[in-house]
Chains A and B, each alone.
Chain A
Amino acid sequence: MTIASENPDNEIRRELNRRLNIISAPGYEDPARADISGREIGIWFIVTAAILIGALAMWSGGN
């Protein structure tokens, strides 16, 4: 049984609808559903770029 079942009233579809109703309710709050900020993604790439540049610098310094 899957969500895509030809029977529209299967157990999973009912549970899916229940969950979608909960999530879309105006008062529903879930911190995980907040948008990640552009600043956070920027910091992510700055940190990973720093690791990358550090490794490249150390590698090229030894060659």
Chain B
Amino acid sequence: MAAPAPKFTGASAAFGTLPVLKEERELGFIDHSWINIGLAIATWAFLLGGSTALVVGARDGIYAIIIGNVIGVSIMAVSVCISTGKFGIEQFTLMRSVFGPTGILILVGFFLAIYGVGWSAVLSIMFGRAISGVMNQVGGTHIGENDLGVTLFAILAIAISWLLLWKGPTAVKWLNRFVGPGKLILCFGILFLIFSHKSWSDIANAAPLAPFDDKRINFMIAVEFNLAAGFGWWPVLGNISRFTRTPRAALWPNLIGIFAAAVLGELVGLFAALSLGSHDPTAWMIPLGGAFVGVTALLFVGLANITAIVSIFYGMCLAMRQAGGRYFEALPWGVLTGALFLPVIVIAFFPGQIYDNFFKFLAWTALGFAPLSGVTAVDYLILRRGRIKQCDVFNDGADSDYAFWGGINPASFVALAAGGAVYYALFDPQSLAAHGPFVWVSASVPACFVAAIVHYVLTRTMVMPARRGGY
């Protein structure tokens, strides 16, 4: 007979990383789908749709959004959701079986921090621009889109997010009850307003906002942005699917929720950007809805961004604290979260450089997440055949199967580097310069497959013969 559950006194966030039991799995197929829909239809979907409109028109944009998202989501979902759904273990703890305990600390501390800080900076600047728009409309101010006022409002968003994260993450759950349905209403509201002002032929004939000369490259860059969006769910979804009740409920809602809902949100962004000639969602609301509706929509965008920042940071801080082990355990939760917000504050002083170059940040993240998806998929599904020693995942000692060499699996890191190098060789995320066969195969897809193949070969020839990794 199992021992009775203890009464927790610590209220530590780290309890959230333990394996979930059957009675704690709350998500069936429908629940998981709804959560994913709420995640996918967010202000970032509008930004992604707006970024797509930079290089392609409506028709090409629709197909680029579908193609990029379906490839990215199909690979990303099998790479994280099946394993976390089965074992119910926090994603970055489970990934110690791929990268080793020290390896995952490096990965979380470096890559996830850049991802979390980058996205939070983009969303806080978006908040800043939204509230500046409200002030300009209601208060008669004249805050420009890159003025200090935007930065100050962005810092206000960061401060509110930090307070929520520190003192009351449960408040975000309460807020999300309004924000979730509100995002759906906003989506359909924008669509209604667009089509009440413009005909389909107006939108279909609208020129992309800032295309390159080559039409084929424009299309593939648009696909690449959306591949990045699909692969970009990698650090988020595993920690949701671990609460699902069946393997089917862990996998398929990603297609219904993430893919379909993200496509809808991005299409709204694409059409709005093409109709209004701006890729910035905060510039759409007042021209579309007039003063009252526009100001209300902007206030809602601001609120939605706060909840999104808190959600991103909560997962990131949890992962960092768990991966950091005894190095981070002495840090109070408020200090850890506050320290991670500091770089976001610094970045907020450069709204134009960050927010208006959002698509470059997106491409940089794909350089990391596409290879990560390939490595984690091949490791769990092919090399391990779905078998992981749960005790060893939580064991930091040298006797753990997943200690590899000094806590790092070099095979997985070499594979990530190989995938990243392939990506960079095909597509420069900074200049958006395309090389070689990019126009036919994109950059994310070959990066994902090369990383998977390198990891498979190195594991078979180096790790397994050395009897490391518990394969």
Tell me the A residues contacting B by CB distance below 8 Å. 1-6, 11-12, 14-16, 18-25, 28-36, 40-41, 44-45, 47-48, 51-52, 55-56, 58-59, 62
Contact = CB atoms under 8 A, between A and B. Distances in A.
A29 B245 CA distance: 12
A35 B326 contact: no
B416 interface: no
Q: Is the interface of B mostly helix, strand, loop or mixed?
A: helix
B382 to A, nearest CB: 11
Interface of B: 2-3, 5-6, 8-10, 12, 14-15, 17-19, 21-22, 25, 59-60, 63, 66-67, 70-71, 73-74, 77-78, 82, 85-88, 101, 244-252, 255, 321-322, 324-326, 328-329, 381, 386, 390-391, 394, 396
Contact of A35 (B59, B63, B71, B386): B386
B326 A6 contact: yes
Contacts of A44: 74, 77-78, 251-252, 255
B14 A1 contact: yes
A16 B393 CA distance: 11
Interface secondary structure of A, over-half rule: helix
B381 to A, nearest CB: 7
A18 B251 contact: no
A36 B329 CA distance: 36
B74 A32 contact: no
Given A40-B247, A51-B66, A23 B60 contact: no
Contact of A23 (B21, B82, B244, B246): B21
A36 B19 contact: no
B133 to A, nearest CB: 35
A3 B19 contact: no
Contacts of A40: 247-248, 251
